[in-house]
Every structure is written in C-alpha cells, then in structure tokens.
Amino acid sequence: MATERIEQIDGTLTIAETSELTGLSPSTLRYYERIGLIDGVERGPDGRRRYQAADLAWMAFLLRLRTTGMPIQGMLAFAELRRGGDATVRERLELLRRHQAQVRRKYEAVMRSLDAIDNKIAHYERLVEERDGESGREA
C-alpha cells in the first residue's frame, strides 16, 4: 500500500510515467533522444532520466507533427532550428507553413478518394438490398 510512490517531489517524471502520459514507449523516448529529437533531458543521481514539464510540452508538439504525417527528418530539422534559438524563428515559421500546406493538400486528396469509396459503399448497399429483395420475392 505504501509502495505506491508514483508522484515525484520535484515534479519530474520517470521514463515509465512519461511513456504513460505521452503514449510513446520507453524505447521510443530513448530513440528520439538518441537521434536528437529530444534533448537536454536531465538525469537523477542514479543516472536515470527525469523528464520535466517542458520536455512533455515539446513531446506533445512532436506528436502533433507526427500525427499530421511529418517524417522524422522534418521533425529533426525543426528540433535543430529550435536549438538555434530566437534567430531561427522565421525559418521555423516557414517550415511549419510548408508542412501545414502539405497536410492540407494531402487531406484534400484523401477526402476525394474517400468520396469515391463512399460511392462504392453506396453501390454495394444497393447490391445487397436488391439481393435481399429478390430472396424475399422468390420462392
């Protein structure tokens, strides 16, 4: 009962807790750090990672980029600009704008295809109906 010590005094999180919160597996968190997507993660005196609120916010942003289909190379480019500080704000803005435009184009195509699929579904629905109708009228 007293072994439930999930919350940290200093408000930092273990890798397991961070994994839980972000949905990223511990392996993925380490992987992202290794390739430079996440950096500056602090360590406890035992050498273990201790994630801070700022790290979580950054991961949330990365997740949004990922959800919208940005490849890791793109996120990496953004992460590197971010390390460059205020001087890179304009470039970050441009990167995000390009991505935004790409996502919109992509999803317009997806929606066009989905419309076609919707039509196919409607077609199949008519087929199934006919079939049911026949078997009802027959015999």
Residue 74, strand partner residues: none
The answer to whether residues 38 and 72 touch, using CB atoms and an 8 Å cutoff, is: no
Question: Which of DNA, a copy of itself, none does residue 25 bind to, with CB < 5 to 8 Å depending on kind?
Answer: DNA
Instruction: Single out the segment in contact with a copy of itself by CB under 8 A; choices: 11-19, 29-37, 43-51, 66-74.
Output: 66-74
Beta carbons within 8 Å of 17's beta carbon, 6+ residues apart: 6, 51
Smallest distance, Å, CB 11 to DNA? 15
Q: Whose Cβ is closer to a copy of itself: residue 15's or residue 79's?
A: 79
Rg (CA), the chain: 24
Query: Judged by CB under 8 A, does residue 82 bind a copy of itself?
Result: no
Structure tokens that stand for 40 in this block = 């500056």
What backbone torsions phi and psi does residue 43 show, to the nearest 5 degrees?
A: -125, 145
Smallest distance, Å, CB 129 to DNA? 32
Structure tokens that stand for 110 in this block = 């997806």
Residues that bind a copy of itself (CB under 8 A): 61, 63-65, 67-69, 86, 89-90, 92-93, 96-97, 99-100, 103-104, 107, 109-111, 113-114, 116-118, 120-121, 124-125, 127-128, 131
